[in-house]
Amino acid sequence: MYDNEDEIKRKRRILVITIAVIVLLIICLLIFLFLRSSGGKKTIENKEIKCELEVKSGTIGADDIYSSEVVIGFKSVTPISDSIPIVKQTVGTSDNSRNKDTYTITKKGKTKVYGYIKDANGNTGICEIEVEVNPTKPTCELEIVSGTPGENDWYTSDIVVGFKSKNANSETATIEKYYIEKKISELEDDEVIRGEIPTENIDKYTVTDNLTTQLYGYVIDSNGNEGTCSITVKKDSDLPTCNLTVTSGTKNSSGIYTSEVVVGFDTMNDVTSDISSYGIGQTENYENEIAVISAEGKTTLYGYVKDEAGNKGTCSITVERETTQVQPPPKPTSYPSCTLEIIGTTNGNTYIGNTTIRFKSKSSTNGATITSYGVGTSAQLNGQDSYTITSTGTFNIYGMVKDSNGKTATCGPVSVNVQMPTLLASIVKIGDFVAYDAGNWGTTAPVPTTNKNFGGYTSGSSKNSSVKCRNEDTSTASGWKVLSVSGNTVTIIHAGISECYYHAVSSADEAINVLTNRARTTYMNSFASDARMISLNDYNSNSSIQNIGSHYYIATRKDATTLYYVSYSGRLSGGSERANGIRPVVVLKDTVTTTGKNSNGAWILMLDGNVSKDLNNELSAKNPYVEKINQYIDIIKKVIEGFEENIENAE
């Protein structure tokens, strides 16, 4: 049976409602499931915990650098949710299990500080901050720049004080402000009262007051740190004063003392420092507190006072006592006198080199003694016993004496003509003779007897006269000749017939070595800087030595057993078994001087103002007695040579 239309409509309505309820239930179920999956809570925007650090305390200076210790702490801590509390928060340079709200930075330099946080659910967070600290204060030191030191650390003039050092004690800070000021006063807690900081830097402070002054130096760096230093100085430029008084003594009606008089200090005073020592006397002393006057007549005594700074002051008093002594008889008349003498080397009427004029005698008569004297270019009592002439010219020298009676006398003038030496190299020429002082002075020597023995040298070789080497060598040539002049250096060569040597057949090299050693030991002296035997290079480089006028050998090997030989004509050839006349070459020092030529036409040599033996011997030879003695010496030498020759023949 079919439903009617109304029934159909009712069923449709029930179906629609049922479907709507089911859809609504499904939607609710979906909403429930969604809420369940999200915990059943509303959406949270914060997904992590956060923090931020800040400087809690500290003094910041230039360039954000702190000049004191810095305290770091949390500026803020933000949790994920109010319902999830923060269980840990600590500040430090590393994580620490215990809570710590702040961290203090005291070390110099840049430091990173971290904040560590954690909530109840185990979520963590980190924040950081970096600061630079320079807490070290600058330092300084004061010193006395100028002033006149006295005694006991006092100064007797104005004292200038300045900075000895100013140190910022920081790699980043610099000293920007510094000044020095005098200590004004001091509070009970030792705090110094300071004045206002000056606008300009003050590097020095001058103490002008006579007192003890304490100065302070201040230095301020670019971070605002301040350092101080101090120094105490004492100035006393005032002279102490005093007064003397008679402490005991008897006067007559005329006010003249008739007894011993005792004098002492009445007052002693110094404005700044105390009196440290004092004394009374006729000469300065700081020991006698009183003085006794026993001498008759007028006597003046002085008081001497010295303060701690070393300043000295004086005062005086004059006391008169009765005079009863008989005047002594007058002293007898005296007559002082003196004579002069010349000390030096003469060449005729001329003195060579430094010449000294001195007293030969000085005396007086009638018991008087010489008390003062003098020697000089004028008559004067200059206290000098002698006068030395060090330049060329003619000089008049005077002597003067004074005796104990006050009498004076003069001696002189002594006229002295002095010739000072000149540099040898400035006046000598190649080929000139030179009076060189080297070798022995004998005129002859025995001929060596050992054949083929190179270096068969015996004593008696000659400096200016040659040895007779062969029977045909009967002539005697003498003298040293100038080989070359270069700058201040003069080289000389022995121009006569030299010593005899026998050539060693076995080795020319050995011969050369012996010759070179012989040259240095025989011909070197204070005038020479070098000595050697003539070489082939000398022969080839200087034509002036190729025709000396007598034969000689050259100390340069020709082959293994012979030396070069130069004949009388200057021809160069090979050697033989004997080398007659190996010539020495001497290089003179560049300080050698001369005063001219001697009677033989050879230049006289001097060194440091000393005349060579050649000149001294020449001057001595002017004495007939000396010349006679030299003749006797020559005779004795010849007799000895005769004995030696007879002995050799007998052998």
CATH at 264: 2.60.40.10
Does the residue 19 lie in any domain? Answer: no
CA atoms of 204 and 147, how far apart (whole Å): 13
The single-letter code of the amino acid at 80 is: I
- pLDDT bucket at 628, cuts 50 / 70 / 90: very low
What domain range includes position 529?
423-613
Supply φ then ψ for residue 218, to 5 degrees.
Answer: -125, 135
Q: Final residue of a domain: which of 403, 418, 433?
A: 418
d(CA 320, CA 263): 12
Q: Are residues 119 and 148 in the same domain?
A: no
Judge if 315 and 393 occupy the same domain. Answer: no
How does pLDDT run across 51-89, given as a tens digit for each residue? 999 999 888 877 788 877 899 999 999 999 888 998 999
Identify whether 17 is part of a domain: no
Say whether both 117 and 157 belong to one domain: no
Name the pTM for this structure. 0.38
Domain assignment present for residue 405? The answer is yes
Reply yes or no on whether the pLDDT at 445 is more than 70: no
The answer, yes or no, to whether residue 473 has pLDDT greater than 50, is no
Give the single-character DSSP code of 424.
G
The answer as to whether 516 is a domain residue is yes
- Are 495 and 365 contained in the same domain? no
What is the secondary structure of 289-343 as a DSSP string?
Answer: SEEEE-SSEEEEEEEEEEETT--EEEEEEEEEE---PPPPPPPPP---EEEEEEE
Q: Which two tokens stand for residue 255?
A: 């006010």
- Give a yes or no: residue 478 inside a domain: yes
Nearest partner of 415 among 323, 349, 503, 496, judged by Cα:
349
Q: Could you tell me if 582 and 439 lie in one domain?
A: yes
Cβ neighbour number for residue 326 with a 10 Å cutoff: 5
Q: How confident is the model at residue 534 (pLDDT cuts 50, 70, 90)?
A: confident
Query: What 3-state DSSP class applies to 8?
Result: helix
> Do the domain assignments include residue 438?
yes
Decide: helix, strand or coil at residue 133.
strand
Is 570 found in the same domain as 506?
yes
Q: Residue 613: left if φ>0, alpha if ψ -120 to 50, beta else—which one?
A: alpha
If asked whether residues 508 and 597 sit together in one domain, one would say yes
Predicted pLDDT of residue 474? 42
**Whole-number pLDDT of residue 502:** 45
Confidence of residue 464 (pLDDT cuts 50, 70, 90): very low
Three-class SS of residue 245? Answer: strand
Query: Angle at Cα 226 formed by Cα 223 and Cα 228, nearest 5°?
Result: 155
Among 71-85, 246-260, 632-646, name the one with the lowest average pLDDT: 632-646
Listed residues 418, 448, 482: the one ending a domain = 418
Is beta strand 480-486 parallel, antiparallel or unpaired with respect to 290-293? unpaired
Section 269-285 average pLDDT: 91
Q: H or E element: which one contains 322?
A: none
Q: Residue 13: pLDDT above 90?
A: no
Express each pLDDT in 353-405 by its tens digit: 889 999 999 999 998 999 999 999 999 999 999 999 988 899 999 999 999 99
Residues 607 and 486 placed together within one structural domain of the fold = yes
245 with 225, same domain: the answer is no
Mean pLDDT for the chain overall: 78
Contacts of 598 (CB under 8 A, 6+ apart): 435, 604, 614, 615, 618
10 CB-side CA count, 13 A: 5
The pLDDT assigned to 467 comes to 37
- Of residues 644 and 387, more confidently modeled: 387
- Specify whether 434 is located in the same domain as 564: yes
What span, in angstroms and rounded, lies between the C-alpha atoms of 458 and 446?
7
Residue 530 and residue 429 share a domain: yes
- CB crowding 80-101: b at 16 or more within 10 Å, else e: beeeeebeebbbeeeeeeeeee
Regarding whether 433 and 315 lie in a shared domain, the answer is no
End-to-end Cα distance, the chain: 195
Return the bridge partners of 302, or none: 281, 316
> Is 618's pLDDT higher than 70?
no
In a domain, 510, yes or no: yes
Residue 364 is part of a domain; what is its CATH number? 2.60.40
Q: How many residues does the chain have?
A: 651
Residue 518 confidence (pLDDT): 66
The domain total for the chain is 5
CA distance 12 to 4: 13
Question: What's residue 625's pLDDT?
Answer: 40
Within 10 angstroms of residue 41's Cβ, the number of other Cβ atoms is 9
For residue 562, the model assigns a pLDDT of: 67
Q: Report which listed range, 121-130, 498-507, 597-606, 607-616, is most confident.
A: 121-130
pLDDT, tens digit, 9 for 90 and up, residues 184-219: 765 555 566 777 788 889 999 999 999 899 999 999
**pLDDT computed for residue 421 by the predictor:** 83
Q: Which of 418, 440, 463 is the last residue of a domain?
A: 418
Look at residues 401, 398, 368 and name the one whose alpha carbon lies nearest to residue 383: 401
Q: Is residue 627 part of a domain?
A: no
Lowest average pLDDT, out of 375-389, 458-472, 538-552, 636-650, goes to 458-472
For the ranges 445-454, 545-554, 610-619, 627-636, the maximum mean pLDDT occurs at 545-554
The answer to which of 86-100, 485-499, 591-605 has the lowest mean pLDDT is 485-499
CA distance 522 to 63: 84
SS3 for 236? coil
